[in-house]
Structure 1
Amino acid sequence: MTTAFIVHKKVRFQHCDPGGIVFTPQYFNLFVEVVEDWFDISLNYSFAKMVVTSQFGIPAMRIEARFHNPSYLEDNLEMKLVVKRLTESTALVEIVSSCAGEKRCSMELLYGYASLAEKRLTHWPTDVYERMQGYLSVS
């Protein structure tokens, strides 16, 4: 059974255009926050530990977004993350944002695991890779 990482994000004024609707580029910021939360909370590999201490990063290699319905100021968005594909050095992550059961935005983000010093992809740390496997979707 697939485990999904779920976190809630409140739509704040900073996310919105003057009409109180989430400004499209802000979804990208929200989704990166979800990935950062997932690494910190579920994978026990915070961005501070990854980037500052270990000198690795997860550059985005591809992003595909779909905007289904608008989100509004003060909406409480449920962000649900699953891994669609996992290799030794990449992870295809899907995040679906919804509010009160209505799908708002969904994204697929292909991340690579890279050495900042060598500027090339490398293998995920074994413990992180094993934890990620628990989020693989079966579709």
Structure 2
Amino acid sequence: MMNGMPGGESFRRYIPVRFGDCDPAGIVFYPRYFEMFNNLVEDWCAQELGVGFRDMHLAQHWGVPTVHLETDFVAPSELGEVLQARLQVRRIGGSSLHVAIQLCGPDDGERVRAKLVLAAMDLRERRAIPLPPEFARKASRFLVAAADDNQEQKGTA
């Protein structure tokens, strides 16, 4: 059971903790979690939303960079562990996706939780654009509203 996230459809992956992810103490160096988040979003876009980052960035010239990030580091992760990653959408705006990510250890204990805001961006003009309708429609399968998120989401993009 992955704690802290309500039921509903989730994108899930397993992430091995590698030597290069760790500091000399053998625990994950915190910036590596941000790379894990980005890799998870990249896999989700390709496998569930129908557009890989290569096509999105190089052929279609748009992207979904992270424009806001909140992270809680709950417990350390160690070299050799395999983390369970879970991604859900908390809100779909006109040009943004609010995403929740949770990483749990082999014992199912929560290690890291994060809230990300991804904004659709025209890579040539460096400005926000509306989410492509098909992309937003596919992302809505992962939409799970949480009561504690409703207040903070009012009035955001």
Bin the TM-score by the shorter chain.
over 0.9
Contact 2:14/2:83 (CA < 8 Å) preserved in 1? yes
Residues 1:111 and 2:118 aligned together = yes
Q: TM-score, normalised by structure 2?
A: 0.86
Equivalent-residue separation in structure 1 for 2:10 and 2:131 (angstroms): 20
Q: Give the match's secondary structure for 1:37.
A: helix
Contact 2:91/2:145 (CA < 8 Å) preserved in 1? no
Q: Pick the aligned partner of 1:121 from 122, 128, 145.
A: 128
**How does 1:43-82 map onto structure 2 within 5 Å?**
43-82=49-88
Q: TM-score, normalised by structure 1?
A: 0.96
Regions of 4+ moved over 3 Å: none
Equivalent-residue separation in structure 1 for 2:36 and 2:142 (angstroms): 20
Q: Pick the aligned partner of 2:12 from 6, 15, 21.
A: 6
Equivalent-residue separation in structure 2 for 1:68 and 1:30 (angstroms): 16
Identify unmatched segments of 5+ residues in structure 1.
none
Equivalent-residue separation in structure 1 for 2:48 and 2:116 (angstroms): 18
Tell me how many residue pairs correspond in the alignment.
Answer: 139
CA distances 1:81-128 after superposition (whole Å, capped 9, x unpaired): 000111121001110000121000011110100101121111111111
Contact 2:89/2:99 (CA < 8 Å) preserved in 1? yes
Contact 2:96/2:119 (CA < 8 Å) preserved in 1? yes
Identify unmatched segments of 5+ residues in structure 2.
1-6, 147-157
* Structure number having the greater strand percentage: 1
Q: How many percent of aligned residue pairs carry the same amino acid?
A: 31
The letter for the 2-side match of 1:47 is F
Shift in Å, 1:138: 2.7
The letter for the 2-side match of 1:88 is G
Q: Give the match's secondary structure for 2:142.
A: coil
The letter for the 2-side match of 1:21 is I
